[in-house]
Amino acid sequence: MGGDTVLVASSGGVMRLTLNRPEKLNAFTLAMHAELRAAFEAAAANPLCRVIVLTGAGRAFCAGQDLAETRPGMEGGLADAGSRLEQAYNPLVKLITSLEKPIVCAVNGIAAGAGANVAIACDIVVAARSASFLQAFARIGLVPDASGTWTLPRLVGPARARALAMLAEPLPAETAEAWGLIWKTVDDDKLEAEVSVLASKLASAPTYALGLTKRAIALSSTNTLSQQLDLERELQRKAGGSPDAAEGIRAFLEKRAPKFTGRSA
Ligand code: LHQ
């Protein structure tokens, strides 16, 4: 599976997706969107897939929309930049955030424009120390998209979100970590190994419970405390009835490591 612009490799419960247009810093084209969406949908549907790793080929993670594909007309301005969001970015972000399996983003180099915002829409973001996050939109007269205006203020607060978006200066990975934009920064030459350890750990985790956890955290942004407590009760009911909860508790009492299947029943 996969095509030229997204490489797909599956092994040991981990599906690794690599954005693959390194000569254009993995900028998004419609073809890449179609391949990426198909790969995420396949990961969602495949019970053997328990974690997805998204990364980029070459020196960048992703430079956002391929601007050669959305060249302005002679009168200036893009014909309808909104339709590109409707067609491509919005479905991608909805897929990533609603897919009930952990998605790790390994940010191997610069993440710019929609590339930065797709990265921070993932569940666990690990970046190479030399990587940076650039809300490039203001440089070209656009507003942050691909959920940036939603995710950024929630992760770093509105003051930092506004400055990042308005100044369009690259944020180094270490600062991104210090600000809570991402999970962790690692040395460039350790990125692959660290992400692979993390992915293996998640591939033997109780996937069903992790998926419900992701749902609960997503819904917390609109729920009241009381609604969230009700949601936790419902989700705990589901998780508690799963074979992994039975195994987890049994293993604890027997003082051994649990063997989770990831299944709901
Ligand atoms: C690129 C790109 C790129 C094409 C590097 N496109 N070729 C949604 C809805 C509708 C419309 C518009 O957009 C969106 C969402 C968005 O994402 S808007 C934001 C789009 N992205 C940007 O504005 C970032 C553009 N890129 C850059 O500013 C720089 O390339 C960065 C700062 C990322 C990296 O700079 P450098 O390390 O100096 O690399 P470079 O600029 O030399 O790029 C290397 C090559 O990649 C070069 O091609 P060439 O053939 O000359 O070697 C660039 O043209 C190409 N490239 N980004 N987005």
Whole-model pTM over 0.95 = yes
Mean pLDDT of the chain: 96
Range from 75-84, 112-121, 156-165 carrying the lowest mean pLDDT: 75-84
For atom 30 of ligand 1, the residue with the nearest CA is 63
Question: What's the mean pLDDT in 85-96?
Answer: 97
Rounded Cα gap, residues 30 and 70, in angstroms: 10
At 219 the pLDDT is: 97
Report the separation in Å between the CA atom of 28 and the middle of ligand 1, taken as the mean of its atom positions. Answer: 10
Instruction: Kindly state the tokens that stand for 134.
Output: 């650039």
* 213-247 pLDDT per residue, tens: 999 999 999 999 999 999 999 999 999 999 999 99
For atom 48 of ligand 1, the residue with the nearest CA is 24
157-173 exposure pattern, b = at least 16 Cβ within 10 A, e = fewer:
eeebbeebbeebebbbb
Q: Is 146 left (phi over 0), alpha (psi -120 to 50) or beta?
A: left
Report the separation in Å between the CA atom of 21 and the middle of ligand 1, taken as the mean of its atom positions. Answer: 12
Pocket-forming residues, ligand 1, beta carbon under 6 Å: 24-25, 27, 63-68, 70, 78, 81, 84-85, 110, 112-114, 134, 136-137, 139-140, 142, 145
Q: Comparing 134 with 72, which gets the higher pLDDT?
A: 134
For atom 53 of ligand 1, the residue with the nearest CA is 24
Cβ contact 164:151 at 8 Å: no
Rounded Cα gap, residues 54 and 75, in angstroms: 38
Report the separation in Å between the CA atom of 137 and the middle of ligand 1, taken as the mean of its atom positions. Answer: 11
Q: How many other CB atoms are there within 10 angstroms of residue 257's CB atom? A: 9
Q: Is the pLDDT of residue 75 over 70?
A: no
**Can you spell out the DSSP letters for 101-158?**
S-EEEEE-SEEETHHHHHHHHSSEEEEETT-EEE-GGGGGT----TTHHHHHHHHH-H
* 164-197 pLDDT per residue, tens: 999 999 999 999 999 999 999 999 999 999 999 9
At 2 the pLDDT is: 57
What letter would DSSP give residue 170?
P
Cβ contact 146:184 at 8 Å: no
To test the pocket of ligand 1, the residue of 5, 19, 21, 24 to mutate (highest count of ligand atoms within 8 Å of its CB) is: 24
Please identify, by atom number, the ligand 1 atom nearest to the C-alpha of residue 24: 46
Rounded Cα gap, residues 49 and 42, in angstroms: 9
